[in-house]
């Protein structure tokens, strides 16, 4: 599995010829537009910074779009979505937390989560997390302290920060005691690579 970070909350996750996209910025977003062919697109909040589904089509490749709570199975990938709250963009909105079973690994994508109080269903179902995609920047989503507190509770093997600026990342790494963590261009990982890991932070360069 190869994980690439495009900034904001946008990730490209690929294995062989299969590609997943998370929270692509839309045309009206102030974030840079990113375009790549995807088989499955997941949108955690219907906001211009995350709902750029049109940028995931490429040639004859039309992605399957997942945009809310529920259970899905696409191309042998199991996805569970849990509704939660966010204040991102002003007001209270629905944010979907996604649990994704992919290549024998359990991925948890928190999206624009704004509270450490997870819905009961998510607490019950999201266990044995291999990789946690964690917003840390505040301003409607978790701030660095809330984010680290939640990460400790969820006990993932690997934490991948997202939705931050340089100052928020520095504060988060300090909170986690991982100030010397260096950003890498992409994260290539197999299930066996995660054995023995507990809360290891992987910072991906956008």
Identify the pLDDT of residue 115: 94
pTM reported for the whole predicted model: 0.96
User: What is the arithmetic mean of pLDDT over 36-51?
Assistant: 96
Q: What is the mean pLDDT of the chain?
A: 95
Identify the pLDDT of residue 57: 87
pLDDT above 80 for 21? yes
Q: Identify whether 97 is part of a domain.
A: yes
Question: By residue range, what is the domain housing residue 82?
Answer: 2-201
Alpha-carbon distance 181 to 197, whole Å? 15
| Residues 6+ positions from 36 with CB-CB distance below 8 Å | 12, 19, 21, 55, 56, 58
Q: Which sign does the torsion angle of CA 44, 45, 49, 50 carry?
A: positive
Which CATH number belongs to the domain containing residue 143 in this structure?
Answer: 3.60.15.10
Q: Identify whether 206 is part of a domain.
A: no
Number of domains in the chain: 1
User: What is the arithmetic mean of pLDDT over 139-166?
Assistant: 97
- Kindly report, residue by residue over 76-93, the tens digit of the pLDDT: 999 999 999 999 999 999
């Amino acid at each position: 599995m190869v994980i690439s970070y495009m900034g904001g909350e946008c990730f490209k996750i690929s294995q062989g010829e299969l590609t997943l996209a998370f929270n692509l910025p839309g045309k009206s977003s102030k974030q840079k537009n990113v375009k790549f062919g995807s088989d499955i697109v997941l949108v955690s909040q219907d906001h211009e910074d995350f709902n750029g589904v049109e940028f995931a089509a490429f040639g004859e490749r039309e992605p399957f779009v997942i945009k809310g709570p529920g259970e899905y199975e696409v191309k042998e990938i199991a996805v569970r979505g849990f509704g939660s709250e966010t204040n991102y963009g002003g007001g209270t909105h629905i944010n979907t937390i996604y649990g994704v079973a992919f290549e024998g690994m359990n991925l948890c994508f928190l999206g624009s989560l704004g509270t450490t109080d997870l819905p009961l269903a998510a607490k019950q179902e999201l266990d044995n997390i291999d990789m946690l995609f964690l917003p840390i920047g505040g301003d409607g989503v978790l701030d660095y302290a809330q984010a680290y507190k939640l990460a400790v509770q969820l006990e993932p093997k690997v934490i991948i920060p997202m939705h931050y600026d340089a100052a928020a990342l520095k504060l988060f790494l300090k909170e986690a005691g991982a100030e010397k963590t260096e950003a890498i261009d992409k994260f290539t990982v197999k299930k066996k690579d995660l054995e023995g890991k507990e809360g290891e932070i992987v910072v991906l360069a956008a």
